[in-house]
Every structure is written in structure tokens, then in C-alpha cells.
Amino acid sequence: MPTRIPLLGLLAFGIWFAVPAQCVAANTPTELRAEQLAEHNTTAYTLTPERLRQAIALTRVRMIFELGGTAWTLAQLLLILSLGIAARMGRLATRLTKLHFAQGFAFLFLLLPVTGLLDLPLEIYGHHISLSYGLSIQSWPSWFGDLAKSFALEWLVGGLLLIILFWIIRRSPNRWWFWFWIPTVALSILGVFLTPYVIDPIFNKFEPLANSDPALVSRLEQVVARSGISIPPDRMFLMKASAKSTELNAYVTGFGASKRVVVWDTTIAKSTPDEIALIFGHELGHYALGHIATTVLFVSAMLLPLFWLGSHGVRLLLARFGPSWGIASQNDWAAAVVFALVLFTLSFLSDPIFNAFSRAHEHAADVYGQEAVHGIVAAPQSVGRQSFQVLGETSLDDPTPHPVFEFWFGTHPPIRTRAAFAEFYDPWAPGEHPKYFTK
């Protein structure tokens, strides 16, 4: 224990040192007042009675889906273990080949179709719900095609991680949690860099935004010029989301040479140029405030204690149930299902921590975006409120979500409070002060 405390403390210090000062700045009095007014506001974001009924019903479905999906994942992993399916898969993988790396891929190739088939009814129902509420227009053949692509990626990336994990376990059975953490972090960083180049184009089509809307690019360049960071036009992309979805979105992805801002074509179709400028300012804020780097650091730091807890959980389960599951030790390929069971449980329990971190980032980006377009957009407050109104209407966002559900699963602040905050936040008024930009 004494050697672990300095290690975790060093990680915490590293995160604090790497976070830009503006990312950890305390809320300004102007910001606090706007937050207090927004908390109890019920008029900034409203829905028609019919849309409200749909939004409430959809929220209930999502709550059941999230909780039911979590319970079902745990149940199916326990089922695969208790019926000896995992043990039989492990033995079959070792009989198929003597090569260690091939055994790992073979085991996962046997396991993923089983979990995939068990998940399929929920997956199909989820897409049916999206179609029924008009959130998706993706055809079933296209949807199944994406499912097949996801399977291939899970097998390739998961197989690589599985091989590394078991290779490390054989060499350090007691401290694998630390040594496995290192390549996991390295591969995560590599994944963030490669995602815009490799992963995203597998599922959607992208093109430079300048090809379809050079006037919009010129307007967005004005916002970039205020930020002091570099996002040239060739890093601004249009994603053709309308082939599959009716929802609105924009996001930042990658870092270094892969850094870019992506705007969905559905967002451009349903938003005014002023609204798009503000949305872009929000996404730009994620880069200006160092959110991608700090998220990688935060997740990396959180993974270490989770892996440490996971190692103890796996040992306890194998000691108690290993013989009945047919798993002799943590070196057995079938133990991968035990690892999945423990880490999935820990992930679910730690979701509120990760999501609170995400919500803080999203709020900071909201503040940054509204300040960034001052002088470019005529009325940032009303434009901000209206952009969230359109986003909420399109996504059927419930104005009064259950607070526990939002606390546990919400990655963004509720649309209601975001719209109200945008309406009340005016740091350029007399006597007020902006947080990220000087007057």
C-alpha cells in the first residue's frame, strides 16, 4: 500500500499540472448568477403538448433500456460462466492452435457471437425505438451492416488487448493491473489520434466543409480568430449524418495532426448561420480549454485504481467460483469473461464520476462558445437559447428528466438548464465580466 499512494498522488498532480488554468478556473459571479437563475427556469426550453408527451415516453424507454441493458449484460456474463460455456470456449481455443496470440483471437471469436446474439434483441428494439420516434431513418440493411463492422472492430481491438493482458498475467500474476494499465493508456491515446482517420470513415461519410459551404467556413474562421488557436479550414469537416439520422450534432475529435471539428449536415440544415457559429464556438472551446487532453489524463488516472480493484475482484471470484465454472486460474482464457464481469461492474459504478467530469467540460464549453461569438453573432443569448431549443425539439429531450438518471447517465447538462443558462448569461453587460475573454 505505501508504494501505491505516492503513485496515485503523482498521477493526480500530473493531471492538475497538465490542465490549462482556464479549464480549472472557478465560476465567475456572472456565471454563478446565470446558473442560479437557470436552475429553476421552466420557460427557456419548452415543447408542444404532443412533443412533450413523446419526450417523456422516450425518456422512460431510455431509462428502462439503460438499466435493463446493464442488468442483462451482467446476467449474460454470469450465465456464460455458470453454464461452463466460457470454459469450453477456452479449451477449444487452446486445441485449435498452439500460438498464444492466435488462441486469444480464437477465444474472442467464439465469445463475441454468443454475447452478440444475446444482445441482439435489445439492439433491434433500440433501433426500432429510434425509427418509431423519428430520430433515425437508417434502413435495417444499413443498420445490420454497421453492426457487422462493430463486431469486426471489437474482435480486432479486443483481441489485441486480450493477448496483451494474458501475456502480462503470465509474467506478473500479482501486478498485472499496473503493467496492463500502461499499454491500455498508450493504445487509448493512439485510438484518439487514429479515430478520425480510421474508425469514423467506416461508419459515416465526411468531406471538407469548404466544399459545400465556403461562406459558412469564412464565418467560422472569424470565431477561430478570436480563440487564438489554430483550426484551419481543412480541419473543418461536414459529416453526412442525414443518411442515417435526423438528430443534430457537432463534435471535436483527434489531436495533433488529426485534430478537427465536425458538423453534421442535419445541424446545418436545421440551424441558422448564427446558431451554427455558436455551436462551433462550443466545440472550439473543447480544444481551447484542453478538454481532449485532460479527458485522456483523467480517464487514464481513473483506470489505474479500477484495474487494481478489478484484480482483487477477479481473484475473489475465481477462488470462490472458479472450480464450478471450470476455470482453473486467471491464466485460463475463460477467465477473460470474469475480467469482463468485474470491470463492467466497476465501470457502471464509476459512471457518475466520469459523467460529472464530462458535464463540467460541456458547461465550460457552453460558456466559452457564448463568449467566443460575442461581436460576431448579434444576440448570443437569444441565439444560444434558440439553438438548444432546436436541439431539444429534434432529439425529443425531456425538459424534466429524472435527477438520478441524469446524475448516473447524463454526459451533458440537461437541455432545459443549458437553454436557460444561455438566456441569462451576459458577461458583457455593465458591471459583469467574461470568464475566458477580456472585454
Query: Which pLDDT does position 61 carry in this prediction?
Result: 95
Query: Which pLDDT does position 15 carry in this prediction?
Result: 44
Cβ proximity of 279 and 369 under 8 Å: yes
Start-to-end CA distance of the chain, whole Å, equals 51
Phi, psi of 321 (to 5 degrees): -115, -5
375 Cβ contact partners less than 8 Å away, ≥ 6 residues apart? 226
Domain boundaries, the chain: 4-205+285-424
**Average pLDDT over every residue of 380-408:** 95
Query: Which pLDDT does position 14 carry in this prediction?
Result: 43
Looking at the predicted structure, is the pLDDT value of residue 1 above 70? no
> Distance (Å, rounded) from C-alpha 109 to C-alpha 155?
7
C-alpha cell at position 50: 404532443
In sequence order, the β-bridge partners of residue 239 are 206, 264
Percent of the chain, pLDDT > 70?
Answer: 94
> Distance (Å, rounded) from C-alpha 101 to C-alpha 234?
40
Query: Which pLDDT does position 25 carry in this prediction?
Result: 63
**Average pLDDT over every residue of 308-320:** 97
Residue 259 CB: number of other CB atoms within 10 A?
A: 17
Looking at the predicted structure, is the pLDDT value of residue 23 above 50? no
439 — pLDDT class (breaks 50, 70, 90):
low
Q: What is the pLDDT of residues 180-190, one digit of tens each?
A: 999 999 999 99
Query: Which pLDDT does position 334 carry in this prediction?
Result: 97
pTM of the model: 0.91
Looking at the predicted structure, is the pLDDT value of residue 26 above 90? no
Edge-to-edge strand ranges of the sheet holding 206-208: 206-208, 236-239, 260-264, 250-253
pLDDT: is 296 or 439 the higher one? 296
Q: What is the pLDDT of residues 321-353, one digit of tens each?
A: 999 999 999 999 999 999 999 999 999 999 999
DSSP helix/strand/coil, 173: coil
Query: Which pLDDT does position 12 carry in this prediction?
Result: 45
**Average pLDDT over every residue of 135-159:** 97
229 — pLDDT class (breaks 50, 70, 90):
confident
Q: What is the pLDDT of residues 64-90, one digit of tens each?
A: 999 999 999 999 999 999 999 999 999
Query: Which pLDDT does position 18 carry in this prediction?
Result: 42
Query: Which pLDDT does position 7 carry in this prediction?
Result: 44
The dihedral built from the CA positions of residue 90, 96, 98 and 102, taken in this order, carries a sign that is negative
Query: Which pLDDT does position 6 carry in this prediction?
Result: 41
Across the chain, mean pLDDT equals: 92
16 — pLDDT class (breaks 50, 70, 90):
very low
